[in-house]
Amino acid sequence: MLVIGIYARKSVYRDTSESVATQIKLCKEYSRIMFRSQELDFIVYGKDEGFTGFNMNRPSFKEMMKDVESGVLNVVMVYRLDRISRNVPEFSQIFDRLQKNQVSFVSVKESFDTSTPIGRTVMYILAAFAQLERDTTSERVSDNMDEMALHGFWTGGKCPAGTTSVKRMIGNKEHSFLILDNNIDYVRNLYSLMLSGLSITALERHCRNHGIKSLTGKFLNTSQLYFILTNPVYCQNSPEALEYFRGKDNYKLPDNAEALFDGKHGLIAYGRYPQSKQAAGARKPITIAVGIHDYAITAQDWIAIQKRLGENKQVRTSKYELGLLKGVLRCSCGHRMITKIYNQKGTQYRNYLCSVRDRMGKEYCSTGHIRMDEVDDMFLEKLKALQLDKSLIQIRDYAPPAEFDERSAKKQIGALEIQIDNLTHTLQDNLDAPAAKYIIRQIDRLDGEINALQSEIQRSRLQASHAKDAQNAIDYIYSQICYLLEQFESLSYREKNELIRRIVKECVFESDNLKIVF
């Protein structure tokens, strides 16, 4: 039996491309033509809709490559080459992994044969064109954004708090612009509270204590407050603001900025946040443009808050460690636990808190503040127990393989094949006899038994492969646990947290107990 893995993906940015269902259908039809003399089994990997080819952390893609490494697949098939990757070096690595595991690669649209040198050459040329298409598309989008910024157009998406978008005709085209709406006083109130001397943490606490929630009715956290308080959309386009942005390396201003910054309108920022960690490393400058909307905060006040936030951020970064389990600790309700560190009346409080309770209140989660040092100590004690007994380490979603005698199964298959051969010879001599239909039925039954045994052999081999991978993972986890405990005093907080994130999927806190999931 030939096992074909069909990988299908549709980016949300390409509405004109084939749907995932259509790609799967076309791949199956092509397979039945290309491998018409073989019995086929399909495994579909089609849950990456909305992910771009640039992102290699696609769930279905990772699942497929894991099956490639485990020997499950004989063929990987895509409708079009750029469904699997739009980057030549990355595709080269993928193809090398396929070849290493003796898995063929087939693209329906391009119809090349990777078993020949010319076929592989054509494949790499097509991959290069796919990357070129992605790069030129990115450039066109960037150029279009710059053009829109010159006119202060709103590019779409969720409008900032206190604003809404309206459409207006410019020439013969309709464009979107931002204007202030009835909720702008809510934003002005937050700025006023910050200007009164509150830190962003104290502002969060003040909002919670006085029932000031987000416009969707949830408690505000520091990240949401920071987003509102640093958004240039509220800032007056005065010469003071122009000088502020000119003094920053990460901002790009219009060529005719002096004429545009007249103090009458608000601003718009394009490209405030990168879409991925990879983009964050080489992010482009944020483009500042002048909108048609009124400003909500004077430039003087807006700049004063930016300076205060910058100073507070530097103090917090250098002063506090954020908890060993930051990023891996979860509440018993299933939601992520965040770190809460603040000073009150000369005492520093360091706690973990359920993110749902933090956002929505205690009626949604009964778990209150948990002292950070107590949970971290509990975690380290459990690691010490695992250091003493390696067998206690459990891998998530892993079960030991059931016992299976592959040699015996192969003998049974051989015996069944002999029976089928004998029945086939009997059938040839009795094609017109009434007994022919019973012989055919018997052959089908025996063939079904062979297929079941072959499936059991494949399942057993896959389980054995997973068992080997699990043991390797346990060995790695154990070595990292030992390293963490032995070098604990010499490691920095960041090194400890990164090591824990690397080996621990999550920790679940429930009823004064901590469950560690690797």
Rounded Cα–Cα distance for residues 493 and 421 (Å):
69
3-state secondary structure of 348: strand
Please, what is the angle between helix 88-100 and helix 117-151, to 10°?
150
The larger pLDDT score, comparing residue 222 to residue 127, is at: 222
The pLDDT tens digits of the residues spanning 506-516 come to 889 887 788 88
At 443, which amino acid appears? I
Q: Which helix (H) or strand (E) holds 329?
A: strand 329-331
Q: What is the CB neighbour count within 10 angstroms for residue 13?
A: 10
pLDDT band at 315 (very low <50, low <70, confident <90, very high): very low
Q: What is the mean pLDDT of residues 337-352?
A: 83
Tell me: the pLDDT tens digits for 375-394?
998 999 999 998 888 888 87
User: Rounded CA gap, 483 and 477, in Å?
Assistant: 10
Q: What is the mean pLDDT of residues 434-441?
A: 83
Q: What local confidence, expressed as pLDDT, does residue 301 receive?
A: 96
Coil, strand, or helix at residue 86? coil
Question: Is residue 50 pLDDT above 70, yes or no?
Answer: no
Which of 190 and 140 is assigned the larger pLDDT?
190
Which token pair is 443?
């052959």
Cβ partners under 8 Å of residue 217, min gap 6: none
Q: State the architecture of 163-319 in CATH terms.
A: Alpha-Beta Complex (3.90)
| Amino acid identity for residue 220 in this structure | L
Q: For residues 282 and 87, give the distance between their C-alpha atoms in angstroms, rounded to a whole number.
A: 17
| Whole-number pLDDT of residue 158 | 83
Angle CA 155–160–165, to nearest 5? 50
Spell out the CATH class of 2-143. Answer: alpha beta
Radius of gyration, alpha carbons of the chain = 31
Q: What is the pLDDT of residues 273-290, one digit of tens each?
A: 544 443 444 557 788 889
Among 208-222, 261-275, 361-375, 382-396, the minimum mean pLDDT is found in: 261-275
| Winning range, highest mean pLDDT, from 51-55, 103-107, 178-182 | 178-182
Q: Quick one: pLDDT band at residue 14, thresholds 50, 70, 90?
A: very low
**pLDDT-derived band of residue 67, with 50, 70 and 90 as boundaries?**
very high
Going through 281-433 in order, the beta strands assigned E by DSSP cover 286-290, 329-331, 337-344, 347-354, 370-371
Q: What is the pLDDT of residue 190?
A: 96
pTM above 0.85, yes or no: no
> Residue 10's pLDDT is what?
79
Rounded to 10°, the helix 372-388/436-486 angle is: 110
**Cα 312 off chain centre by:** 30
Q: What's the confidence (pLDDT) of residue 269?
A: 87
Output 122 or 333, whichever has higher pLDDT. Answer: 333
pLDDT tops 70 at residue 100: yes
Q: In the predicted model, what is the mean pLDDT of residues 492-499?
A: 86
Distances (CA, A) of 173 to 67, 143, 176, 214: 50, 18, 10, 35
| Per-residue model confidence as pLDDT tens digits over 121-148 | 666 665 565 555 555 555 555 556 566 6
pLDDT score for 302:
96
Instruction: Return the top range by mean pLDDT from 149-153, 284-288, 353-357, 432-436.
Output: 353-357
pLDDT at 314: 41
Q: Under a CB-based contact definition with an 8 Å cutoff, are residues 387 and 486 in contact?
A: no
pLDDT in tens, 156-171: 778 999 999 998 887 7
pLDDT at residue 418 greater than cutoff 50: yes
**What mean pLDDT do residues 36-55 have?**
82
pLDDT at 492: 85
Mean pLDDT of 31-49: 88
pLDDT band at 88 (very low <50, low <70, confident <90, very high): low
Residue 312 pLDDT greater than 60, yes or no: no
Average pLDDT in the 8-32 region?
77
Distance (Å, whole) CA 419 – CA 188 = 85
Q: Choose among 323, 331, 330: nearest CA to 350.
A: 323
Using CA atoms of 440, 445, 449, 455 in order, give the dihedral in degrees to the nearest 10.
80
Higher-pLDDT residue of 495 and 399 is: 495
First CA to last CA across the chain, in angstroms?
A: 35
What's the confidence (pLDDT) of residue 320? 45
Cβ neighbours of residue 432 closer than 8 Å, sequence gap 6 or more? none
